[in-house]
Structure 1
Amino acid sequence: MTHVFHRHLRHAPKLAVAASGMTFRDAEGREYLDASGGAAVSSLGHGHPDVIAAMHAQIDKLAYAHTSFFTSEPAERLADELIRTAPQGMSHVYLVSGGSEAVEAALKMARQYFVEIGQPQRTHFIARRQSYHGNTLGALAVGGNAWRRAPFAPILVPATHVSPCYPYREQRVDETPEQYGRRLADELEAAILGQGPDSVIAFVAETVGGATAGVLTPVPGYFKAVREVCDRYGVLLILDEVMCGMGRTGTLYACEREGVVPDLATIAKGLGGGYQPIGAVLAQGKIVDAMSRGSGFFQHGHTYIGHPVACAAALAVQRVIHRDGLLAKVRSDGEAFGAMLREALGAHPNVGDIRGRGFFWGVELVSERASKAPFDPALNLHVRIKKEAMAQGLLCYPFGGTVDGKLGDHVLLAPPFIASRGDLREIAARLASSIDAVVRGATTS
């Protein structure tokens, strides 16, 4: 009997009792290789001594201080570090407790910016189908995941959703990647014009699509074209890097690879590496300046924002990443990991696409490769793969509804940055074995 309100109410999850490096151990003594960092969170793995030491030291000095009264040294130092390494023009960091909170704060920050500069008629957000920006109501409203939105649709603020950058399924055979990206940017422009260009607050996008569609990497030039469209109509660009940022794709910010700078960026997950709940919004100077010259007050806040222990943990995580050269490691080992996945799964008749960057990869499953037809959702293929992988001692992140919120299955992989090439090879092998076992059973039953 459990009194915990678990995600699934018909069965309780296994009880985790310890974790170290790449490995979890449950109460029955079974060990699991962590191939997904939870939900792309554990960038340094588990039990890193530098992070634990920083948390202990901070607890001894100051565990909590409400931001309506005080700032704290770790919050100030973390903000300094994030701005030092941030995309050009970012001047301030708003510290929160997770990814959904970060997106909520960014949406409100964007709205208040236009109120402050005398454009209160801007009330609308545009995002993409099959995007995921969080589970709180504002983040859920702007997100485009049909399955997650459906039960709450009547109480969500309306938003417009345009096509995702999903070349495996939506790039035409007669267009280059660059032409496809331009077509998507033209669709965004049409949506802005259709809504009324002076009514749109922002376009919100994951730089690399995350959990919902299984790691969608943008085609070359797509985000540059999007940035140009936003600038043409005075629309802000909010990039959601909660899952793909903080080194996950091999650069600290995924947008570095795209050659664009957002007006607001949201980060979380790998920011604190799972050692404490933390997230943040990075804001361009023009947004902060407008509020400073206007009301002088951001009308927002939560009890635990800027939490000193969380900030100390996140600062330690970021320092280890830079000190140990882990961004370069993720880039080089990420290429090797992609090759391992393609070697293990590339010829599998039910693997349609293997895509990714750095330590962020997605494997999309299909019932038939030539037609790209997804499996029947009634098979619950992703659920069965997760269960089989755990039986084989592997933690991965399968999900369903890849194509449109109902159809499609994929597996997301996001191992800790400390993973050795041996670990990565083992992940690829166990995943291939798990997928093969489940698909073989599904197609013969």
Structure 2
Amino acid sequence: MSRQAQTWDDSLTIAVESHVGMRRLNNQDSYVVLPAEDRETWQNRGHLFAVADGMGAHAAGELASKLAVEGVAHNYYKYRSLSPPEAILKAVEETNSEIHRRGQANTEFHNMGTTLSCLLILPQGALVAHVGDSRVYRLRKGVLHQLTFDHSLVWEMRAAGQIRSTGAESGIPRNVITRSLGPNPSVQVDLEGPFLIEPGDQYLICSDGLMARIEDEDIGTVLGTLPPDEAAKYFVNMANVRGGPDNTTVIIVQAEPGSFQCESKTAPPLVVDSSLETMRTVPFWVWVAAGILAVLAVGLFAVSQPIPAVICALLAAAAGIGSYLYLHAGTPGELLAGGRRLGKGPYVQESCAVNTTSIGRIISAVEELISPDAGRSTNSEVQRVLECLKEARQQNEHHAFHDALRLTSVAYRILIEQHQRFMSGGG
């Protein structure tokens, strides 16, 4: 399925593709695309996009992902009195509760779960709500940023310092996730942003069927070369030709260079409850001073100077208590202003320059799928693939990168159609 649309004011171009893959019978991915219908909705709620990747036997995964995207969309717009960060957080938490309730009520759906990655395009910037190992990327000026943290065993162990080299990851299952909607009555939701949006920025929300088969560098190259509708189709075909073991869903959102106007400088700052605010830090010298005062208090007591000792002890206690309150307390209704934002993203960035090297790498990856004896084959489809790749090489040498990728896209489609006929017994 493909969808390309523009928002109510033509400032965004949106493309969507979702495919069952080459080995699955059912598509357990779900998505929602809700661009604002008018300016008032844009200013108060923005545009909402989400991808969910379900998990569970039988139809459980399909139900979980469907409940996730439908639930978060409904609940987000239900809490109009809350700011977007507060509303999306509450929406995801309530959606998790409902998925968990449905799972507990029916043994066939017991322990069903789903990832959920949401992107809000707001006047204040891009805001992300995330649980699981689906991802949200941003491509800006040739650099791909991963805005979400994978809630997977590999990423959690790496963050905890238990993985110190790339080779050490080889023995860790990559498909084990540590956080999802549904299995538990409550869930911890990551909020990231708001990130300033610049004209030309592209956002990609995807299930792991994409990035499990395609490296970040190639993702950025395709995004930077093809328009959104072509790139979305290209990603699905690329994943399928490389095995397609899982469902693949992608949403691409592009801030149009000629029409998108970021309103972050004029829009009122987002209001958040203090518990959602970015973690505060206390200056190191405050802790040092508190420690020195505590040591002095002990020393003064030891030399029978009770009054100075009590004063030092009280000052040390005041510093400690004040620091604690500063870190953990706050007044509801704090502002995300002056560049302040939630979360710690981006977590990964990759330079993705579009050039003969990056395009050539993608062409080579297609060539590796072809048998070494293909050149002697009389099969007309094989010959068409070889001709496409040969012409793609020529276009790449002439820096016609768009045309080169389009030719590899034709090769992908031929290979997929050939595989589907073979699997259906058509030869």
Q: Same fold (TM over 0.5)?
A: no
Higher RCO, 1 vs 2 (CA within 8 Å, ≥6 residues apart): 1
Structure with the greater alpha carbon radius of gyration? 2
Q: Could you state the TM-score of these two structures normalised by the residue count of structure 1? A: 0.23
Q: Could you state the TM-score of these two structures normalised by the residue count of structure 2? A: 0.24
